[in-house]
Amino acid sequence: MSSNQWIAGINAVSAAVEHDADNVREVLIEAGAKNPRLAEIETNARRKDIDVRRVAQQALDGVAGGLRHQGVAARYAAARTWSENELQGLVEAAEGRALLLVLDGVQDPHNLGACLRSAAAAGATAVLIPKDKAVQVNATVRKTSAGAADRVPVVPVTNLARAMRDLQKLGVWLYGLAGEATASLYDLDLRGNVALVLGGEGDGLRRLTRENCDQLVRIPMPGADADGGVESLNVSVASGVSLFEAVRQRAG
């Protein structure tokens, strides 16, 4: 992430200051703003020796780049990045209950941000994304994720199919979500080491990604079935449904 990238919004900045303070270079807060959450961010930032400046609203409008800033923005010098080499450690640390989300070419930063928000809420071990032909964690993703981008490990991988095979060698079962599959997500046992694999907008799972899944499954949709058509959920909605089915089973 370049030194000139900004994140904006109360949740995004609060999470960055709380979880990634070493990479936050300064925080800008709207002068005269009375929101107690802004005061909380300022106090927390100063406690962690982060520079805080009170500025005019126009200054925040300029650095936020069209994002709704809610009176606060922060400048990043760098962001925590995870490498493929760290995947094995993440899986092993989960002690047989790893829960991963694999996203095959999501293009819309709002979708990726929403997926990360669901993954963080579900306590996911990590989220894998391709380094190429997919959106990366940028300012819009951070804003949409409401801070989740700093709480869940996001691992960009050079070769998604190879990374999936590496996960299988670690004892992770890979389940791909596909609307035309006959097996139901709800018939799976999702209590062990599991990776849920979802495709990007439009084309869904690519051929190589499909071939490296242990099984393809679908989310039952009675409304779509009644019409005789095959519908697909938005990738962020499908991610949430899938992840929280795993959470439900593990809680039980």
Residue list, annotated binding site for S-adenosyl-L-methionine: 199, 219, 233
| Longest CA span, the chain | 60
Per the rule left: phi > 0, alpha: psi between -120 and 50, beta: everything else, 200 is beta
- Edge-to-edge strand order for the sheet containing 99-104? 154-157, 126-130, 99-104, 194-199, 173-177, 215-217
Binding residue numbers: 199, 219, 233
Instruction: Enumerate residues 6+ apart whose C-beta is below 8 A from 123.
Output: 99, 247
- Report the alpha-carbon distance of residue 68 to residue 52 in Å, rounded: 19
- Report the alpha-carbon distance of residue 167 to residue 162 in Å, rounded: 9
Instruction: Enumerate residues 6+ apart whose C-beta is below 8 A from 150.
Output: 15, 16, 18, 19, 20, 80, 142
Two structure tokens written together for 82: 């995870």
Per the rule left: phi > 0, alpha: psi between -120 and 50, beta: everything else, 234 is beta
- Report the alpha-carbon distance of residue 174 to residue 179 in Å, rounded: 16
